[in-house]
Amino acid sequence: MKKLIPAILLIALLGSLKANAQRNYDSLRMDGWMKKQFAGTVQLQVTYRKANLGSLNSALNADGIPSLGSNAIWINASMNHVWGQWITEDGIGFTPITTAQENNFKAEYNQYQIYGRLGYNLLSEKDMRLFPFVGFNLSAAVLDIQDRARIDNTSDFTTEILNSTSSKTLYQPNFGIELGVGYDYLIQAKPKNMGCVLVQRSIPFGVRAGYYIDTYQGDWKVDNQSLTGGGDKKGAVFFSVNIGLGYEIVKH
């Protein structure tokens, strides 16, 4: 019996340590990272923001290629995160390709972007959010020139490699600041119980409106060579509509 006493004490000690560790873990989980409610949204966002293509179209016209269209519609996938009254929003997006063609020359133009925003919710209502925001925007414009007459003048691989052609792909990096206001209306859906938390689901409909300040417009580049005379630095008004799937995590 005496030989069993140390083993019994050891088992009791380990059990006590395990119970204490579990209590500490539960306390950390419930009173630490779960101490406050937080929410967010995964959403599809469609934006109107006109690009200034004056200088680019002038260069195309000088080479006999018609002007490109406005290329003003952006399709974005984005998320927002709500921490109390603070709201962050980030996303990536692109514009559909705009084309211009004359004889055997064809120009294709589109843009890509990544953005981030920080806002503050002015409302206390559960189903609505109204927040002014400030953000940054990194974008790139891509221009693809196709010279079909010279590309199609041979079917031999070796000859095509060194074929003289005006075909090329150019790109232009840009950086801007966004100032605006956003509004979301949340249609509440059926909540989901997940143990110690309740996930309140919703379908948010929203709008964003503001002004894009073209802070930096880079030179057009082909490969790593910078080119001059191809861009106009200019700000623009933007307007977005979005729909998504929202959540709010609430501690029991």
Q: pLDDT of 114-136, one tens digit each?
A: 999 999 999 998 899 999 999 99
Strand intervals (E) in the chain = 38-49, 73-83, 86-94, 98-102, 105-120, 128-147, 168-188, 192-194, 197-217, 220-222, 225-227, 236-251
Model confidence at 9: pLDDT above 90? no
- Do 167 and 87 have their domain in common? yes
Q: How confident is the model at residue 10 (pLDDT cuts 50, 70, 90)?
A: very low
Cα separation of 126 and 250, whole Å? 13
- Do 22 and 43 have their domain in common? no
Q: pLDDT of 127-166, one tens digit each?
A: 999 999 999 999 999 999 988 777 777 777 877 777 787 7
* The predicted structure's pLDDT at residue 243: 96
- Do 10 and 126 have their domain in common? no
Model confidence at 167: pLDDT above 80? yes
In this structure, the strands spanning 98-102 and 128-147 are unpaired
Domain count, the chain: 2
* The predicted structure's pLDDT at residue 38: 76
Give residue 229's Cα distance to chain centre.
30
More confident: 248 or 20: 248
Indicate the range of 67-81, 94-108, 216-230 predicted with least confidence.
216-230
- Do 15 and 123 have their domain in common? no
- Do 17 and 128 have their domain in common? no
pLDDT, mean of residues 18-33: 47
Structure-token match 């990194």, residue found: 138
- DSSP conformational letter for 33: I
Name every residue whose Cβ is closer than 8 Å to that of residue 73 and which is 6 or more positions away in sequence: 46, 47, 48, 95, 96
- Do 156 and 207 have their domain in common? yes
Give residue 231's Cα distance to chain centre.
24
Q: pTM surpassing 0.75? A: yes
- Do 93 and 16 have their domain in common? no
Q: How confident is the model at residue 231 (pLDDT cuts 50, 70, 90)?
A: low
185 DSSP β-pair partners = 128, 205
* The predicted structure's pLDDT at residue 16: 47
Model confidence at 211: pLDDT above 70? yes
What's 138's domain CATH number? 2.40.160.20
- Do 69 and 174 have their domain in common? yes
* The predicted structure's pLDDT at residue 105: 87
* The predicted structure's pLDDT at residue 15: 53
- Do 140 and 166 have their domain in common? yes
- Do 55 and 24 have their domain in common? no
In this structure, the strands spanning 220-222 and 236-251 are unpaired
Instruction: Provide the residue range defining the domain that includes 117.
Output: 37-251
Indicate the range of 45-59, 98-112, 187-201 predicted with least confidence.
187-201
Model confidence at 186: pLDDT above 70? yes
- Do 220 and 166 have their domain in common? yes
* The predicted structure's pLDDT at residue 199: 84
* The predicted structure's pLDDT at residue 252: 64
- Do 122 and 186 have their domain in common? yes
